[in-house]
Amino acid sequence: MKKSFKSGFVAILGCPNAGKSTLLNKLVGEKISIVTYKPQTTRNKIAGILTTEDYQIVFLDTPGILNGKDELSLYMQKGYESARKDTDIVVYLIDGEKPLSKRDVSYLDTFKKSDKLIIAVNKTDSADKETVIPILSDLNRYNDIAKLIVPISARTGENCDILLNKIISLLKLGEQFYEADALTDKSERFIVSEIIREKILLNYEQEIPYGVSVVVNKFQTMDNGVLDIDCDIIVEKQSHKKIIIGKDGAALKKFAEKARLDIEKFLSGKVFLTLFVKVKENWKDNIVLLKDIGYDKKNI
């Protein structure tokens, strides 16, 4: 390792749907975090790791700022807060398609001059200039605390090089935290469960709320080299189960096929995927069940 090697942890924070997961994937160069248009898609603090000969950056994708009171929401809030507290640099992402929100202002006002804060206004590829320009004007009040205020498009990559270069300039000399070929701190089982959940959120649009989760029960390579994966899809209501399964199982087969293809791409191998749908009423408030699913606040 070079004596001039730099490293650090960078939290990507912001309100729901600001584009945090899209930005993480763009900066790392791989799809690490799932992306949908629905709020609260991201539930776990997920690391995306970018390593070169000169530096290693551990980006942390986080749940959006929210005020929910159920146990799942409290778990997500803790992940958000720990990312802010335990990182070297914060990239605060703002949705450029909407006027600057009171929630954004309230959060940004908590930063002090010593904080390594970068503010990025996202979605410049789709937002109207009449919306973005006033946002950038309003953000001038933070010129004394922000190291950079930049308009970007996480989807197309516009100005993401400027953002990345500023992050690199703020890194300190340090050790390499992960192996050079590591892309995330999450297991393959976790990524598989997230791919399936993403397909549910995308394929059922408004019919299924965010109260759905996925548990991987089997993750085993068979003698023929095919990976055998069994998962439970957890929903809150019997009506949601019927929607996911569809008439004669048609809806389930449709999105399961899309999930399987994405999983095979991620794992670079053949997959035999079996999905079961189970109803667990009020699972978002069941601490024991949340731990079993993988949402344990002690592990944040």
Secondary-structure percent of the chain, ordered helix, strand, coil, rounded to 5: 40, 25, 40
pLDDT digits (tens, 9 = 90+) for 158-174: 999 999 999 999 999 99
Contact 293, 213 (CB under 8 A): yes
The stretch 139-160 carries a mean pLDDT of 94
Beta-bridge partners for 155: none
Mean pLDDT lowest for which of 64-73, 87-96, 111-120, 232-241? 64-73
For residues 230 and 223, is the Cβ–Cβ distance under 8 A? Answer: no
pLDDT band at 35, cuts 50/70/90?
low
Beta strands in 70-205 (DSSP E): 89-95, 117-122, 146-151, 172-173
Contact 64, 42 (CB under 8 A): yes
Q: Specify the higher pLDDT residue, 32 or 205.
A: 32
Tell me, what's the pLDDT at 2?
A: 73
For residue 204, what pLDDT is reported?
76
Give the model's confidence band at 295: pLDDT under 50 very low, under 70 low, under 90 confident, else very high.
Answer: low
Let me know: does 103 contact 65? Beta carbons within 8 Å: yes
pLDDT at position 281 is 84
Residue 88's Cβ-count burial label (10 Å; 0-12, 13-18, 19+) is middle
Q: Which of 164, 145, 147, 132 is nearest to 27 (CA)?
A: 164
Provide CB contacts within 8 A for 100, sequence distance 6+.
94, 134, 135, 138, 139
User: What CATH homologous superfamily does 188-299 map to?
Assistant: K homology (KH) domain (3.30.300.20)
pLDDT in tens, 192-248: 988 898 888 887 766 665 678 888 999 999 999 999 999 999 988 898 899 889 899
Topology classification of domain 6-173? Rossmann fold (3.40.50)
Mean pLDDT of the chain: 84
Query: Percent of the chain beyond pLDDT 70?
Result: 80
Best-predicted range by mean pLDDT (35-39, 133-137, 182-186)? 133-137
pLDDT of 36 > 60? The answer is no
CB atoms within 10 A of CB 39: 13
283-290 average pLDDT score: 70
pTM > 0.85: no
> Of the given ranges (14-28, 100-114, 205-219, 232-246), which has the lowest mean pLDDT?
205-219
Above 60 in pLDDT, residue 1? yes
Structural domain spans, the chain: 6-173, 188-299
Nearest partner of 20 among 90, 99, 111, 107, judged by Cα: 90
Q: Comparing C-alpha atoms, which of 176, 170, 184 is closest to residue 7?
A: 176
Q: Which of 62-76, 184-198, 264-278, 279-293 is the least confident region?
A: 62-76
